Amino acid sequence: MSPSSRRLMVLPLVALLLGLAAWFMSRNETPLHAGPPATVTFPTEMTPREEARARARRTHRPPAAPNAPAPGAPVDPLLAVLPTDPGAGAVVLEANAIRNSPLGETLLACMGGRRQLDMMRERTGVDPLNDLDRMAITTEGVSLTGHFGEADWDALFPDASRSARGDQGRIYELPDEGVRGENRRAVGVWGNSMVVLGTPEEVEAALDRLEGGGPRGTPILDASQAYGEVYGVIGGDTLAMMLGRGGGLGDQLPPELRDAASRLELHADTRSDVGVVARFEGEDPTRVEELGKTFKGLLSVARAQAQLEGEPDAVRLLDMARVSHGEAGFDLQLAVPQSFLEEMAERCRVEHQAREEAAERARAEGEALPEPQTPTAAPEREEL
């Protein structure tokens, strides 16, 4: 066989090998930069979209102060209703935006679907998934905004004593079920767009802030801080109570640093990946820096512990946790990637489905028995 014909015989083999090489290299091929998941956006400032959102929400013009020449500028009613005490705390949740995000899907899946929400809608006329816009949780009660026109408040609280507050406010004081009045609760309704829950005094004060009836003050949360899907401010007293009390994080911190931070500003972006920024500030920069270093150490220890205990999910989350120091304090950044949320939602869905099937089986078995010997309430309790 001549050398040239031998070479020709090799060509099909080379072509076959190259074809196989191409096939192997092209398998599961993904774009090169789609891989690393650690690119979570942290909300550190207001975006133009959020500025427009904040502007659109300035719909309420509070009545002018007695000696003021003209009424004030329009404000966001939810921000206006927040406490004015600098030591208080308020966290606002953009309920509608969160519901339509991967986090919302995960929460819904883990709550076990819509059955309870449907029951609530039938009872109150308010669909939490569609009618609720925002929720503010404060140290002085809870405020909700949204579309509450369908709710029949008089029918909902037939035993409550009803009183008017300002032009648009109504207060339903619920019957006291406590011994010394510690369970006094009230619901304040402002127009068809806001509901305030708390003690009668808290609800009165909140409606007065909206209607201009009480003492004037600046709400603890400014409109420029209303960015992210969760945002809020926790003032000195509340923060000191959170960090200082026994159990949880307070126990991990050295006692001399528990009151180092006098203010915590919180922002969370939940549109795809969840990125949380907690900004700690205090009077003494050295002590705040020390607190930041302690947080770094705690994250480090928590990660090592999670590794030792074989908790890969916790390790993944702690991998993305950061503490970055600034001039006024430090930022604690925490991230939950969307892929993690999707895994969680799937896990919750599967678990919930298994629970429902078990409950269904237990119910069927209970019905099959003529006289049940054991109480069949266990699955019901589990569902609750």
Report, in Å, the least distance between residue 23 CB and other proteins.
7
DSSP single-letter state for residue 28: T
Query: How many CA atoms lie within 13 Å of 303's alpha carbon, on the beta-carbon side?
Result: 15
Specify the DSSP element, H or E, that contains 331. strand 329-336
Give me 219's structure tokens: 């709400």
Q: What letter does residue 309 receive in the DSSP assignment? A: T
- Judged by beta carbon, residue 22 or residue 52, the one nearer other proteins is 22
SS3 216: coil
- Cβ pair 172, 160 in contact under 8 A: yes
Per DSSP, which regions of 132-208 are E strands?
A: 132-138, 141-146, 161-165, 169-173, 186-190, 194-198
Q: Which is nearer to other proteins, 19 or 71 (CB)?
A: 19
Nearest distance from residue 322's CB to other proteins, in Å? 8
230 Cβ neighbours under 8 A, 6+ residues apart:
91, 92, 93, 94, 98, 266, 267, 268, 270, 276
What HEC string does 217-236 produce?
Answer: CCCCCCHHHCCCCEEEEECH
Q: How far is the CB of 24 from other proteins (least distance, A)?
A: 3
- State the minimum distance, in angstroms, from the CB of residue 254 to other proteins: 13
CB of residue 338 to other proteins, shortest distance in Å:
12
Minimum gap (Å) between residue 61 Cβ and other proteins: 47
Instruction: Provide, rounded to whole angstroms, the least separation between the CB of residue 314 and other proteins.
Output: 12
Q: How many CA atoms lie within 13 A of 220 on its CB side?
A: 28
Q: In terms of CB distance, is 64 or 249 closer to other proteins?
A: 249
Site for other proteins, rule CB under 8 A: 3-4, 6-7, 10-11, 13-14, 17-18, 20-33, 35-37, 289, 292-297, 299-301, 303-304, 318-319, 323, 325, 339
CB of 286 to other proteins, least distance (A): 12
Judged by beta carbon, residue 173 or residue 331, the one nearer other proteins is 331
Judged by beta carbon, residue 196 or residue 291, the one nearer other proteins is 291
The amino acid at residue 353 is: Q
Nearer to other proteins, 220 or 317 (CB): 317
CA 89 to CA 214: how far, in whole Å?
Answer: 20
**Alpha carbon distances (Å) from 332 to 193, 282, 344:** 34, 14, 23
The CA distances from residue 183 to 166, 174, 178, in Å, are 25, 9, 5
Closer to other proteins by Cβ: residue 52 or 301: 301
Of the pair 14, 368, the CB lying nearest other proteins is at 14
